[in-house]
Structure 1
Amino acid sequence: MGSIKSFTLELDGAGHAVFTEGEVVSGLVVLELRRDTRVQSMKVQGRGVATAHWLENRGMNAVHNDYTSKVIYLRKRQHLIRGW
């Protein structure tokens, strides 16, 4: 069994679970271990993506266009503990 009992990310303001472009995302990383463990480095990677899919009908003969869009708002890596 590994030494990690639980690993959670508790985001500030996560009650609404939606963040907008330009908004600061902050919170706590909670690492609970089963035993004393030497940690040489730790980093957190965050990613925020929005996707949308929609159909548009045009004309009497029900011709439709199928659209999909994807926007990446956040792609960030942050070292919490740097290795030596």
Structure 2
Amino acid sequence: NTLAGVYYESFAGDAAGEYVLPALARDFKIFGAQMKAWQEEKIFTISAKTTKAEVKTRRNNAGPAAAEEQNISFDVNLAVKPEIFNQR
């Protein structure tokens, strides 16, 4: 369910199905589309929420010239159905 332009920095969670995924989106349009995709996914997802999204500037050192880029930083608070951990 991850859209192009969204990158997860890490994740933390448990077998009960509660996860926090710090993420970056290319822009607010992609951020909104990603949250909508999580919220509309009903097979595995119970809920997907975020409490804030903010513009973050970070230095991109890849390539021949370093540059600053702006991304939307947000946390996805994701609850998934616990039975997915028991499926075979």
More strand by share: 1
Larger radius of gyration: 1
TM-score (structure 2 length as normaliser): 0.28
